[in-house]
Amino acid sequence: MTVVQTLLIYVGLPALGFAVMAVLVYAGGNGRSPRYRPGRDWNHEDVWYLPRPISSKAPAHSAPELTGGAAPAEGVRRTARGGASGTW
Amino acid sequence: MVPGEDEDRSAVPAGPFTPKQLARLDEALTLSSRETGVQFSLYVGALGATPRRTAEDLHAGLGAAANSVLVAVSPGERRLEIVTGEQTAKRLPDRSCALAALSMTSSLTGGDLVGGIVNGLRMLADQAGKPALAHH
């Protein structure tokens, strides 16, 4: 084989494979918002996630009533009976 | 923002989760709720200076609070709260909630927000068991 052929096969092909891998690793994945790391600020809005209704009576797009905002007026009935907390 | 609703896919809101992650959360919430008959709700956002109180207020705002379990996660403040209602507290005693909270904080420390939440919901659902076996 000529020198050029040798170089192309034994150097070019691995380099090409390397480049393909690099592209897949660094260009793939979610680039829109950075991955969450503890200690970073959380600047997103507060969001609720609710399950789709269990009973067949409820229409598909209904959600349980939620009082607006996170601070209802004083005197709201206390519904909490237990649970747990955690920090990290 | 309710993932189960029909969303305009071209205008995915700039929320904290990708559509794939939203699908995972939606599936975990719905499956857990369906298996146990308990309404699991998830809140991701600020909890303020009194996180326990805020979480309990949020729980009080739910439609079926007595049969609900609220999982509130504040990534900015690194705090999570699990709140159970009157009926769910019998099926999920505080030690079960504490176990789930511990598992969640382990994942959350590593930055796995969605994984931590999904595993926590699964643990809570396992601990709650099926409706027929609940102790009344």
Taking CA atoms, A67 is separated from B24, B41, B59, in Å, by 26, 14, 10
A41 contacts B45? CB cut-off 8 A: no
How high is the ipTM of this complex? 0.72
As given in the structure block, the two tokens for residue A80 are 């909490």
SS3 at position B46: coil
- Kindly state the percentage of chain B with pLDDT values over 70: 86
Residues of chain A neighbouring B101 (CB-CB closer than 8 A) = 84-86
B15 contacts A45? CB cut-off 8 A: yes
> Reading across the β-sheet that carries A82-87, which strands appear in turn?
A47-49, B39-44, B68-74, B79-84, A82-87
The predicted pLDDT at position B105 comes to 93
Q: Which candidate, B9, B79, B17, B31, places its Cα nearest to that of A48?
A: B17
Q: Which candidate, B58, B24, B80, places its Cα nearest to that of A38?
A: B80
Q: Which candidate, B72, B79, B83, B65, places its Cα nearest to that of A49?
A: B72
CB-nearest to B108 from A76, A84, A88 is: A88
Distance from CA of A18 to the nearest CA of B (A): 29
B84 contacts A80? CB cut-off 8 A: yes
Tens digits of residue pLDDT in B83-128: 999 989 999 999 999 999 999 999 999 888 999 999 999 999 999 8
Q: How many CB pairs under 8 A join A and B?
A: 184
Evaluate whether B54 touches A74 at the Cβ level (below 8 Å).
no
Return d(Cα B64, Cα B44) in angstroms, integer. 19
Return d(Cα B22, Cα B16) in angstroms, integer. 9
Structural domains in chain B plus CATH codes: 17-130 (3.10.310.50)
B33 contacts A54? CB cut-off 8 A: yes
A4-23 burial, b for 16+ CB within 10 Å, e for fewer? eeeeeeeeeeeeeeeeeeee
Other C-beta atoms within 10 Å of A28: how many? 8
Tens digits of residue pLDDT in B67-84: 899 999 999 889 999 999
